[in-house]
Chains A and B, each alone.
Chain A
């Protein structure tokens, strides 16, 4: 079964504090939404290493790009591309990133067409 791609209204932007992430279950996805100050980004909540909750990580940067560090074993995931910025051995891995928009103070996430393989 495939649902078509759609924007989903998630929550008021004030529910995601500055430089923090929050996890939300949407359809088959568990999405981690981050407030980077001035913009919001979203990636899969599950760390490609061992499934750690990325929404609980600390936001930082690598080579000028925003990242989150997984709270379990410190893998560093790029919040724009979903790629693994550290360790080098994880650089093949990747999490999905989602488009985010904020209108009227409401954060919306674009859920892609196909469901993730589970």
Chain B
């Protein structure tokens, strides 16, 4: 059981009266790459935001790396430090340079010495191929570069799990590829990843499993090949016919 890094059981979540997530059961094993897809408003983003408790769930339990997410904030900070997240809108800190964006959390949260943190950051920036931009500010970079920097920033915390919340949706088509390449490399390095995306090409290339969500429920979960070759539910078939 130890390789189950995320365990979600019987999870429900409401925004006011509106139930966004209904009876979610999900287990993710270590080093697996999961792609979550589905129409907008289906609760995909909310689901992965629940995993590092940017949103609170009201019922059920979420266990990340053996720690249950509860009200206790100390634990939550510890879990968040182990779960990296990349956002649709990049959310880089505009008042800091690219390098400082990457070293901020390692220095202040993990208490890493500055020199060490900078070496680590440059190493990760090198991997996503923007080490030469390290001293620029986020406002001076293109969208694709910013998103790659956001990936590097999350990696600098050396997380066990990476969550991607539609990382390519705010980019123009030419830049999508460079971000996806960075993510493919990361997947090949063996990171546990949960990716919310509409990029089916990416799903086919790297995902171990695909989850299809609609109206707050997990409609279908299958091995990647199985999912695309013969989807079981009609809703999935309809979705795939429109998107492919």
Do A and B bind?
Answer: no
B binding-site residues for A, Cβ under 8 Å? none
